[in-house]
Amino acid sequence: MKSWLVDIVQILLQICYTSQSVRNGCGQPPRRNNEELAFPSRKHSYSHGDEVVYNCQPGYIKLGQIRFQCNQGEWEQTMPHVECRNKPCGQPGDTPFGSFELFSGDEFVFGARVVYRCDEGYEMIGKTNYRECQVDGWSNDVPRCEIRRCPPVKAPEHGRLIMAGKQKEDPEFVYGQVVLFECLGSFKILGSEHITCTAEGEWSASVPTCSAMYCEAPILENGHLQPRKDQYLNAERVDFLCRPGFGIVGPPFALCFHAAWSSPPPMCKAMHCGAPILENGHIRPRKDKYRNAESVHFVCHPGFIKVGPHFARCYNSAWSSPPPICKAMYCEAPILENGHLQPRKDQYQNAERVNFYVALVSE
């Protein structure tokens, strides 16, 4: 009888405990962003006191176990509180002649992305310029930056390269290199004397050309050139000659030097002489001015004799000789015995008349 009562009491207690557990049970374990159940179950409900264990999802790590317990109908994390954190990938790797920047995230951990850029004058090899921190580490390889290159340059005709960086059978012209040009002999550069390989892989200017150096014929008014040409080559000489009646004012020649004349052309200035002054005479022809190479003749007035040249020539604005002197001609007073002269003078001008008077003698 007593044994039967004990069994009934135990059954009633078991029924009471089961009913209490159902009333205090929990539903499905909570869904976590970074964790997942270590032992998935098909149970739809959990009893009071049941525990579940979580593991970290791929890309996350933890120290310890993450446990949740059903407590009075609520899931509660048991101590110590452990969380899954982003898995670190470490430093993504540097690239020579370039740099990277953390594009998303604050640390080099799962989900972070870094973007690479090349320094000025360098270009990235390949199309992928980023790396992402994934479950198994960084994606892709570290990008490579290579210096930009410019197209090959050849010396212009009649010229040469006097500095071109590296010299090989096939010269490489890279960012920052400067190429200098020089023309040979009597040729001059048309264009830039130097070009630079830019950061874009292009030359800063076109390759110049070497053109024959020459000077255009100078203009000489009232004169001509010797030799007479339209163009004169480098180092060639031209002489300046003025027309008759004109004198040269300035250098009589010039040299063509690097497509420019050593001096400007002179002036051919009209040469003239002023009328000479002849006292007691006159000049023929009579003018105010006489052109270069023109002559004048000197004529003395009657009663005067010419002492000096008979003519003079205008030469480079000066007379070839000074005018002569027109010296007065005269006669000494004649001697008349027993008489007198009328008019009575010591000297008589040329063509002047004198009268003789005889004295009367009284007997």
pLDDT tens, 201-229? 999 999 999 988 888 999 999 999 999 99
pLDDT in tens, 301-334: 988 888 999 999 988 788 989 999 998 887 877 8
Give the Cα separation of 200 and 176 in Å (integer). 11
- Report, in angstroms and rounded to the nearest whole number, the Rg of the chain calculated over CA atoms: 63
- The amino acid that residue 222 corresponds to is N
Q: Other C-beta atoms within 10 Å of 210: how many?
A: 22
Identify the pLDDT of residue 219. Answer: 92
| Cis ω for the linkage preceding 343 (within 30 of 0) | yes
| Most confident range, picked from 141-145, 285-289, 343-347 | 141-145
Q: Which long-range contacts (CB under 8 A, 24 or more apart) does 295-302 make?
A: 298/323, 298/324, 300/324, 300/326, 301/326, 302/350, 302/351
Residue 8 has pLDDT above 80, yes or no: no
Q: Which residue has the higher pLDDT, 348 or 192?
A: 192
Q: Which domains does the chain have, with CATH numbers?
A: 24-86 (2.10.70.10), 98-147 (2.10.70.10), 149-212 (2.10.70.10), 214-270 (2.10.70.10), 272-328 (2.10.70.10), 331-363 (no CATH)
Residues in the chain: 363
| pLDDT of the residue at 228 | 93
State percent of the chain over pLDDT 70: 90
Quick one: average pLDDT of 62-88? 82
Least confident of 166-170, 240-244, 328-332: 166-170
pLDDT in tens, 13-60: 454 444 444 567 888 888 887 788 778 877 888 888 888 888 888 888
Residue 267, pLDDT > 60, answer yes
Per-residue CA distances from 79 to 64, 65, 69 (Å): 11, 10, 10
The stretch 6-19 carries a mean pLDDT of: 50
| Whether this model's pTM surpasses 0.75 | no
